[in-house]
Amino acid sequence: MHPDILSYNQQQSPIEQSICDLLAKEIDGVLKKAESKIWHAHPVWFLDGNPIVGYSKLKGGIRLLFWSGQSFEEEGLQKEGKFKAAEKRYSTLEEVSTKDLKRWLKKSIDIQWDYKNIVKRKGVLERLY
């Protein structure tokens, strides 16, 4: 696990830290070629400079965000924002289904929208895969 992500996780409450640690472990396990870092104050994983998945602390728990998640066509993910992102929120460790998480992570490799160039394209997203 990236040291900055480990530090981020350790700053959370014990319950939230356990969720963050599990998410980071599973994400690192599936996205082996991804670059991970703290981006806009939250842990994020990138493939070829394109943000794929990340998580953040919200008032009610931890939000897992897939930048291209709306295209996964998964009932367990909720639409987030005006682009293609989708999220899942967790308030307990027991809510995390590693089976679902691994499936979503595999889809995140195969289904990507080009967020890396969204500014250059003036807010227009293009599908990469």
For 99, the domain range is 3-110
Is 38 a domain residue? yes
Q: Which two tokens stand for residue 64?
A: 């897992």
72: enclosing H helix or E strand: none
Q: Which residue has the tokens 């998964």?
A: 74
- Which of 25, 36, 33, 17 minimizes the C-alpha distance to 90? 17
Write b or e for each residue in 10-24: b if 16 or more Cβ atoms lie within 10 A of its Cβ, otherwise e: eeeeeebbbbbbbbb
CATH number where 84 lies: 3.90.1150.200
Residues of the chain with pLDDT under 50: none
**pLDDT at residue 35, as a whole number:** 97
In-domain check, residue 128: no
* pLDDT for 116: 76
